[in-house]
Amino acid sequence: MTGRSVLKSTRTSLFCRKKSVYELLFPMIWLLLLPYEASGKNKRIGIIGGGIGGLATAAFLNEDPDLDVLLFEAEDHLGGNAITIQAKGKDQKLVSVDVGPQYACEKGWAEYLAIMKYYGIFDEESVHTMPGSIGIFSKMSNRDDMAFLSPRWNSFLKWKHMANAVRFSHFYDSSRKIYTSDNKDYDGETVSQWLQTLRIQNAFKQNVIQPFLASILGISFSELQGIAVSGLVKYFVFSGEWYWRKPLNIIKKGMGTSLVELGEKLHKVHFFMRSPVSRVESHSDGKSFLLHSGTGIYSVDEVVVAVHPKAAYSLLKSSSLPSEVLQALQDMSEREVPIFIHRDQDFLPRKSRFQSFLNIRVDKTGVTTTMKLNEIDASYGDILKSWIPDIGEREKLRSSPLLIAEKTFFHPKVTPEYIKAREHIRKYSLKENVHFAGAWSAYADTQNSGVVAAWQTARRLMRSDTKEFWTREIPSLKHIAD
Ligand SMILES: Cc1cc2nc3c(=O)[nH]c(=O)nc-3n(C[C@H](O)[C@H](O)[C@H](O)COP(=O)(O)OP(=O)(O)OC[C@H]3O[C@@H](n4cnc5c(N)ncnc54)[C@H](O)[C@@H]3O)c2cc1C
């Protein structure tokens, strides 16, 4: 779909045929296109990226009559990380399985759930609710030794497990203290420093806490040590106080499907699919920008960058952004998250009666985490979802008929340096007309932080009555700080 107010150019193909002549003509062609820019019409916003960050920005701006919103997505589908596939579950019936993100707990995902409800994407009936049980097993010996299991009651029959449950609750309370503080006290503190100060038995730290934290981020134990504790707690302290049967909400139709549906509801937004933006160029007027995309070159007044930091750097490196902002984007390192959807029971602990929703198997260097999807709902049958660090195990699965789907994702690494760089970028985007709305740019990298980052950006671009409209519709937006 292309919009009336869009500069669409066919010059790319002409360049290819007669490069030298068109190189000469290039500046003149721009001069022909530029007057279009200064017509004093609606403000034009260019959003780069159609994951939750970009889509939620578009969803907020869709309600503003004064804006022309253009969204550029590199792929042929919206959703970014959120990808839902159909797989055969119990009785060969097709079920929706999220390869990427899949859960949205009520407390921590308030804004995400609210905007989805506003656009009629889902209601109370659309979620599976289940206790988020966790099992941690050691793979050091031939058998799987259970280190921790919650909230299965049979696990409390032994003194060791009861004592571990109390320790876990102490660990959770300490994490919550960091979560609810304004983080200043924990600025720059790494997981390794924090674990040293935690007054819990060392064996428990080693056998339960470390595997739990490594599984949340899908990283090795050595990588875990340098992670910023204030960033990390935001990935798991999302639903309030520790409770044995803490509920998890899983979107039945899938998070990926939900985002595709959201895109379909945004009638005012002009979508450019299969249209990767390769370059953002500051205009000679010093105010607007030219977006070089796979489908042409477009002039916009404000740019919203809703892609990962590394992708953002490569788009912006030839723009007039201050070098320290570009450097901060370039310095943010990423980690690989390889996800497999499969039916291989070998990824579960052997004693089936101990299986939980999240099964964390520990070896010397790190963890393999397997979700048992039929814990969510019986209709999933024997479909499993694993983060597999071991290259040999990955290879084995790849050549097996038990593999259903595979995808490697990238997450920024939440180190203390990353948190500092992110602060820097946020401060910059408060003042300028290049804004960052990827989920990473808010408090953590989740679907809800994508909506928060989108709101932090969109509220600066919209009319004040549209802003009031949204804070009436979703009151919690009022409390989101910059
Ligand atoms: C395995 C896994 C499980 C997760 N589980 C959960 C969960 O259960 N709950 C939860 O809330 N979060 C979860 N997350 C985190 C969540 O997926 C991310 O926080 C969120 O999807 C990031 O959204 P985003 O819009 O910032 O980026 P993305 O989803 O990565 O979207 C960026 C988009 O930009 C596009 N793009 C990139 N470069 C360009 C370009 N040059 N031009 C145009 N388009 C471009 C990409 O194609 C992509 O569509 C999980 C993540 C992973 C990997």
Q: pLDDT tens per residue, the chain (482 residues)?
A: 333 223 323 222 222 223 333 333 333 333 333 333 434 468 999 999 999 999 999 999 999 999 999 999 999 999 999 999 999 999 999 999 999 998 887 777 889 999 999 999 987 778 888 877 888 888 766 666 778 877 655 555 566 677 888 888 889 889 988 988 876 678 789 999 999 999 999 999 999 999 999 998 888 999 999 999 988 988 887 666 666 556 778 888 999 999 999 999 999 999 999 999 999 998 877 778 899 998 899 999 999 999 999 999 999 998 888 888 999 999 898 888 999 999 999 998 876 566 788 999 998 888 999 999 998 889 999 999 999 999 999 999 999 999 999 999 998 888 888 888 988 898 887 677 899 999 999 988 899 999 999 999 999 999 999 999 999 999 999 999 88
Each residue of 168-212: pLDDT tens digit?
888 988 998 898 887 667 878 999 999 999 999 999 999 999 999
337 lines ligand 1 (CB under 6 A): yes
**Distance of CA 439 from the midpoint of ligand 1 (Å):** 7
Element of type H or E holding 136: strand 134-138
Q: What gap in Å lies between CA 144 and CA 372, rounded to an integer?
A: 17
At 35, give phi and psi (nearest 5°). -55, -25
Each residue of 362-395: pLDDT tens digit?
988 889 999 999 988 899 999 999 999 999 999 9
251 lines ligand 1 (CB under 6 A): no
Question: What one-letter code names the amino acid at 283?
Answer: H
89 lines ligand 1 (CB under 6 A): no
Total count of domains within the chain: 2
Whether residue 236 is found in the same domain as residue 263: no
- Residue ending a domain, among 412, 430, 459, is 412
- DSSP for 374-415 reads GGT-GGGTT-EEEE---HHHHHHHHTSTTEEEEEEEEEE---
Q: Does residue 371 fall inside a structural domain?
A: yes
**Distance of CA 8 from the midpoint of ligand 1 (Å):** 27
**Distance of CA 45 from the midpoint of ligand 1 (Å):** 21
Closest C-alpha residue for ligand 1 atom 2 = 100
| Dihedral (CA of 51, 53, 54, 58) sign | positive
| Residue 79 CA, closest ligand 1 atom number | 49
**Distance of CA 430 from the midpoint of ligand 1 (Å):** 22
Q: Is 0.85 surpassed by the pTM of this model? A: yes
Q: What CATH number does residue 470 fall under?
A: 3.50.50.60
Q: Does residue 236 fall inside a structural domain?
A: yes
Q: What gap in Å lies between CA 358 and CA 355, rounded to an integer?
A: 8
Whether residue 400 is found in the same domain as residue 443: no
- Specify the DSSP class assigned to residue 244: T
50 lines ligand 1 (CB under 6 A): yes
Whether residue 35 is found in the same domain as residue 176: no
Whether residue 232 is found in the same domain as residue 355: yes
Whether residue 230 is found in the same domain as residue 260: no
**Distance of CA 109 from the midpoint of ligand 1 (Å):** 16
Whether residue 266 is found in the same domain as residue 203: no
| Residue 81 CA, closest ligand 1 atom number | 29
Closest C-alpha residue for ligand 1 atom 48 = 80
Q: What is the pLDDT of residue 351?
A: 62
Start-end of H helices in 140-286: 159-180, 191-197, 202-204, 210-217, 221-225, 229-232, 255-265
Whether residue 353 is found in the same domain as residue 306: no
Q: What is the pLDDT of residue 130?
A: 80
Q: Which domain holds residue 437?
A: 11-79+255-331+415-479
Closest C-alpha residue for ligand 1 atom 51 = 101
| Residue 103 CA, closest ligand 1 atom number | 8
| Residue 293 CA, closest ligand 1 atom number | 42
- Residue ending a domain, among 394, 412, 430, is 412
CA atoms within 13 Å, Cβ hemisphere of 364: 1
Closest C-alpha residue for ligand 1 atom 16 = 446
Q: What is the pLDDT of residue 142?
A: 60
| Residue 109 CA, closest ligand 1 atom number | 11
| Residue 102 CA, closest ligand 1 atom number | 8
52 lines ligand 1 (CB under 6 A): yes
**Distance of CA 80 from the midpoint of ligand 1 (Å):** 5
The DSSP bridge partners found for residue 342 are 384, 403
Whether residue 232 is found in the same domain as residue 287: no
Pocket probe for ligand 1: among 55, 81, 217, the residue whose CB has the most ligand atoms within 8 Å is: 81
Whether residue 197 is found in the same domain as residue 301: no
82 lines ligand 1 (CB under 6 A): yes
